[in-house]
Chain A
């Protein structure tokens, strides 16, 4: 058994609930103990860092201080939480002035952070600690014949990712370990527009259209991603893309934990497959 402190992130409880729900049975099957960080707060996300830097650092630091008490690596399945917590962690080490101010603010709540936490993305933990081989050994329903486009998005691999920032391969290997075919496609680490989909939908829909087209042209039957924001854009907004660009995409988008779960023989209900907007049941039926 491997032990981690677990930071779900706000989306995992709501718009990305298929991620939040599918992480748990998959972790159990892979002998990972994910202990949810007690009373964690929002990581601060990109908006805090664009409104007030010190407040943003404090949002992250409260979580880091709580995690430090556990003595475990802090693992999150959300790419945005990962980037925000990871970069705050780095800044608190590199910017003594910022650290001093954050220390003062945390002291009000009798909290202290000494810089001892390692922030990790769940996909990196699956790749590095559990390994594609380790996962492959537990596969009971090989996804033979399924063509999957691994979509890394941005913040899993940039700016501080564990994989090549522009030509990553870790998700490809994870997909292959399940018996599926990882489709090779050019835009696998290009931007989906993230939260601009709410404030500037036209800009984001254009980017999403390019991604869906590129994945489809390369023969993908579905996409797989670890990121809540990418998932919302590609899955939830797919119908908006279809009406705006007169396209007819019907490409299911799975969270990486959902795909792994299917191959491990975990029932569809436990993986919250019915919560995906573009139903994945058609392409997954042979394996369920």
Chain B
């Protein structure tokens, strides 16, 4: 008998709570599913689940399906959805919250290179205090598809010849201090 009982949908509550626990995620409660975000998004046609649907999936508790999708990784942070949303829920911030959860849970997709690019960027900025663009690009290509670097070689060469691609990173004096701040942040367990 016990096996056939319908279990209370704890999962739904916890995925919503997870999203709401990240600054910017909590406004999701106000969504009226009008679709303004999807209609305004310049890349929506590439998303597995466009913004309106992604928000509906958070509410429905479809955690793994959404977090492993390519959806939020196509958000270019243009904020058109955010200025048009009639409920002021800032859909772009919700997409950023979903990105954090996807990385944290190890579910982030390999079908988009954006998660790896973001990680390369973060490592570069942490290591030097400033982003070293050439190093970040090379790391991205190495970790994803080294052959795609060939396609991008003319772009890199053009930048280099126009003195826009320094070969050395620019390291700040307070790099140790910055690392100490970020280590403390890590010890505090991330934004709640």
Contact residues of A with B, CB < 8 Å?
Answer: 10-11, 13-18, 39-42, 44-55, 57-59, 62, 83, 91, 95, 97-98, 101-102, 104-109, 111, 154-155, 158-159, 165-166, 190-191, 193-196, 198-201, 203-204, 207, 236-237, 239-240, 274-277
Give which listed residue, A16, A40, A98, A237, contacts B191 with CB less than 8 A. A98
Which interface residue of B92, B122, B185, B188 has the most chain A CB atoms within 10 A? B185
Provide 15 A-B residue pairs closer than 8 Å at the C-beta atoms, listed in order of the A residue: A16-B164, A41-B130, A45-B121, A47-B117, A51-B119, A53-B100, A53-B190, A55-B186, A59-B178, A62-B178, A101-B188, A158-B80, A158-B82, A194-B76, A199-B113
- Contact partner of A101 (CB less than 8 A), chosen from B130, B180, B191, is B191
- Chain B contact-residue range equals 35 or more
Contact A275 B163 (CB under 8 A): yes
Q: A58-B185, A159-B92 are in contact. Are A199 and B174 (CB under 8 A)?
A: no
> Taking the nearest CB of chain B, how far is it from the CB of A200, in angstroms?
7
Contact B131 A199 (CB under 8 A): no
Query: What is the bound-complex CA distance between A1 and B45, given in angstroms?
Result: 50
B103 within 8 Å of A by Cβ? yes
Alpha-carbon gap, A52 to B159, bound state (A): 30
Within the complex, the shortest CB–CB distance from A12 to chain B, in Å, comes to 10
**Interface stretch (choices B29-37, B59-67, B165-173):** B165-173
Do A200 and B112 contact each other (CB < 8 Å), given the known contacts A13-B130, A40-B172, A51-B103? yes
Contact B125 A48 (CB under 8 A): yes
- Chain B residues 105 to 160 lying within 8 A of chain A, measured CB to CB, are 112-114, 116-119, 121-122, 125, 129-131, 133-134, 137, 140, 151-152, 154-155, 158-159
CA–CA, A42 and B123, complex, Å:
12
Beyond A10-B130, A13-B166, whether A236 also contacts B188 by CB under 8 A is no
Chief secondary structure at chain B's binding surface: helix
Specify which chain B residues have a CB less than 8 angstroms from the CB of A47 in the assembled complex. Answer: 117-119, 121-122, 125
**Chain A interface, >50% SS class:** helix
Enumerate chain A residues within 8 angstroms of B133, measured Cβ to Cβ: 10-11, 14-15
A159 partner, pick from B74, B90, B182, B191, beta carbons under 8 A: B90
Whole-angstrom distance between the alpha carbons of A51 and B186 in the complex? 12
| Bound-state Cα–Cα, A164 to B175, Å | 38
Q: What's the Cα separation between A12 and B169 when bound, in Å?
A: 13
Interface: B87 (CB within 8 A): no
Distance (whole angstroms) from the CB of A32 to the closest CB of chain B: 24
Determine if B178 and A57 form an interchain contact, defined as CB atoms under 8 angstroms apart: no
> How far apart are A53's CB and chain B's nearest CB, in angstroms?
4
Residues of B within 8 A of A58 (CB): 181-182, 185
A277 to B158, Cβ gap below 8 A?
yes
Residue of A nearest to B166 (CB): A14
Q: Is the CB of B172 within 8 A of A41?
A: yes
